[in-house]
Amino acid sequence: AAYAATAITNARLVEKMQERDLALTRRNVDMGLLNGIASTLTSSLELDEILNKTLGLVMNYMKVEAGDIFLLEEDKATLRMVLHRGQAAEAFWTRNIFKVGEGYPGIVAQTRKPMVSAHLANDPNFSRNAIVEAGFQQIACIPLLAGDNLMGVLSVATRTTEPLDERNVQMLIAVGAWAGLAIENARLHSNARRLAVLEERDRIGMDLHDGIIQSIYGVGLSLE
């Protein structure tokens, strides 16, 4: 009985060590994703690069076959797909525009909460039949938020039937917040550059008006 008790205790200790090792491994993977996202955000202000790297890191972390990103248009009522990565691109591009409140991207944009479906074929909210016909079983959609401002929606889809756990969803929410801030910063940077170009054009126009044009006008008067 003493030997059995010792063996049981040791077995339980081994199980706890294995669980702790698994938890540490998962934490390292999570930190790797966040570190990759942080590096992406700090290394570039180009919107296309930010979107591509973010979606690629998320798909690699989730081990899914496809993903896409919808951005909110200026009218604040339309979501347009601007990027797809992975398999079955033709199936995803068959429906690339959603109104806010319509379909999975629209509902996520309206509620600003993540949505996960484990059975796409039986989900009445999922309206992209071509994706189901391509063999995809599950999808997860998260909002891309910059504070209170919605930037867009990111979604990942997989053909596997193993359910997406809560840890993955929470990581996606964190990535959505970071990516939303990055998109907003990229747009602000783009607007700042556009404003700088316009200001420079105004300055050149004033210089032309005050200098060259007036000189030409003076020459014209002299000729007359």
User: What is the Cα–Cα distance from 149 to 41, expressed in whole angstroms?
Assistant: 18
Can you give the pLDDT at residue 173? 82
Can you give the pLDDT at residue 43? 66
Q: Is residue 216 predicted with pLDDT exceeding 90? A: no
Q: Is residue 145 predicted with pLDDT exceeding 80? A: yes
Can you give the pLDDT at residue 208? 66
Q: Is residue 168 predicted with pLDDT exceeding 90? A: no
Residue 96: is it exposed, middle or buried by C-beta count within 10 angstroms (0-12/13-18/19+)? middle
Q: Is residue 32 predicted with pLDDT exceeding 90? A: no
CA distances, 149 to each of 106, 184, 185 (Å): 15, 9, 12
Contact (CB, 8 A) for 70 and 102 = no
Average pLDDT value for the chain:
84
Contact (CB, 8 A) for 157 and 136 = yes
pLDDT tens digits for range 74-107: 898 999 999 999 999 999 999 899 999 998 999 9
**Tokens matching residue 203:** 């300055």
Give the model's confidence band at 40: pLDDT under 50 very low, under 70 low, under 90 confident, else very high. Answer: low
Can you give the pLDDT at residue 209? 64
Give the model's confidence band at 23: pLDDT under 50 very low, under 70 low, under 90 confident, else very high. Answer: confident
- The kind and range of the H/E element at 62 are helix 47-62
Q: Is residue 6 predicted with pLDDT exceeding 70? A: yes
Can you give the pLDDT at residue 41? 66
CB atoms near residue 112 (< 10 Å): 14
Q: Is residue 31 predicted with pLDDT exceeding 80? A: no
**Tokens matching residue 5:** 């008790």
* Mean pLDDT value across residues 8-20: 86
φ/ψ (deg, to 5) at 147:
70, -120
